Structure 1
C-alpha cells in the first residue's frame, strides 16, 4: 500500500457513532448516516449498521450500488435526474424529491419494475438549495398521493449548504406546521420528518424538535463536528481520518515568486508575503486529490503554503522535526478534503482497528 493514503481509525469512528446515536435516541430521533464522503465503503457502512444506523443516504447511485446486498434502508439524497430514474428505483428505497415531473417519472420506473418507491418531499425553508416552495407543497402532495408506485414516506428540509442558513426554533415550527398540514390533507401520518443535517445537531436537547424525528448526519459522525458553528461534538473524535503524504523535495527557497507574474494553474493570481528564505517541503499530493484548503498538518510547526494539481508545498522552517526525502507527513482533514480524498482513485485507504482479544 503506497502514498498518498488515508488512514481510517475504525475504533474512533465507532465511538463517534455510539456517542451520537445515544444522544439522538435519548431525544427520540433516528439518524440517516450520510455515506457520500467515503463513497459507501462497505467496511464503514457495516460499522454504521452494527451500531444501530438502519438508514444510510448517499448522493450517488454508483455508491448505493456497492451496498445493494446490504439489509439497510438506502436513500438517494441528491434530487434524482430523470435520466436515471430506473436506477434510482432499483438501487434506493427512498429518494429526496422537489419536482413533480421527476416523481411522475419515478412512478413510471416503479411500474416497470413492479416496485413501490418511497419519497421524502423536500421543502424550501430559506437555505435556497432544493425544495418545493411551502405554498405549493399541499397541492403537489395531493397529486403525488394518487400515483400508484410512489409512497410519500416523509417530509424534509435542508440547511447550511448553499446559503449557510442555521436551523432554529422558527424553522422547526415551520417544518412541523407543514408536516401537520400535509398529514391532514392526505389523511396520513408522516413516517419520516427529516429536520436537516449535522448543522441541526446543536439544537438536540436544547429546544423542542416537535415533529422532527430524523437527522441526516455525515460530517458530525465522520469528523465529530457539528456544521452550524463548526464546533467539536463533545466526546467525539475529529481525527478518525488522517491523510499521509510523502515528501519528494526539501529545499530552502524564497517566499515570493520572482519573474513576470501571470496566473497560477487554476487561473488565479495568488499573493505572497515576503518572509525571506524558508525551508519548504513538497509532497506528492495536490488539488486533484484533495481540497487543500481544508488540510491541517499534525505537525504544529508546519504551514501549508499552497498547492497545484499534484504537489503540496509546506513550510517546515519552524518544525521541531528534521524531515528527509521519503518521510511521511500527516494531516487532519476538513470535510472538503475528506470528501475529495475518499472518492479519489489515486488515494489508498487503510482501515485500522484494534485486534479482538
Structure 2
C-alpha cells in the first residue's frame, strides 16, 4: 500500500519512545534535533540516555507501562525486542488514533521513518514503505555525494527573503520563472564556491524590481515516445516539471503524466486541431508555460508536423522535444533520454 509522505512539525510536542537501547538512542537523537519533547519508558536505559536525562533533554517514565501515556503523545516510537509487547502497544496506539512506528516492523507501524538527507532547511526523505530499508539507505548514500552541501544555504536564502519575494512577485507564474532564473543562475555557483557574501548580493540584485523580467508565454511540444517514462528526454522532463498547464492527447499514459508537475491543470486535447491551437495560444497570451503532450514522436510525424509549424510561427517561444523510441536513442536530433 502506498504511503502518504508527511513532514511533521514536532517542535515542543511530546513523543513517547518505548525502549532504551542503541536503536532508541538513534531515534531519540533525531526527535530531539526536530525539537520534540521526548518521554522515554524503558526497563533499562543506555548510558547516553541516562546522560540526556541528567541534562534535562529527555523525561523518563518510571514503573510499569501505562497505556494512558499514549494519550499525551503526538507520536509513539517502539524500539524493544519483545514482539508481543510491541504488538500490544501498536494496538493501543491504533485505538487512541496515535501514529506509531514499531522499529523494523512495517506490519505493526502506522508511520515509517525514512532515510533522510539533511541540507537544512532543505530535507529529502526516501522510503521503501518498510519493504527494503537497506535500499533506501543505499540511495541516501548516493544522493549524499551528489547533492552539494550548499543547497542548504540556497534554501536558506529563499526562506529569509520569502516575504519580499511574495511581495514583489505576487503572480505565481512570474514567481516560478524567477525561481528558475535564480536556481539556474550565478547564486548557486557562488555558494558552491564558498562565496556566501557575493551570493547574497547577487540574490538581492535579482530581487531589484528593475531587474525582474516581465512574465511571458512559452510553449513546449513534447513527444512522449512509446509511453515508457525512462525514454523521456531530459528536456521533456524539464518542460513537464515547469508547465503551468498541460494539454494531453489520447494515448499519453498515466506513467508519463505522473512525472509532470502535480499542480499543473490537465486538459484533454480536442479532436479539432484548430481548437487545440486556439487553446494553446490563449494560455500563452496569458503568460503561461503551455506543454502539449502527444504519444510517439508527437510533433515530428508528418500528420502532426503542421501543428508544430503553426505554433512555432506564433509570437511566443516554442520548443519541440522529440519522442524517443526504444530503438532510436542515438538518432540524429534526439536529445538524450533521462537516466541514459
Task: Return the structure number with greater helix share.
Answer: 2
Structure with bigger RCO (C-alpha 8 Å, 6+ apart): 1
TM > 0.5 fold call: no
Task: Return the structure number with greater strand share.
Answer: 1
TM superposition score normalised by structure 1 = 0.20
| Structure with bigger gyration radius | 2
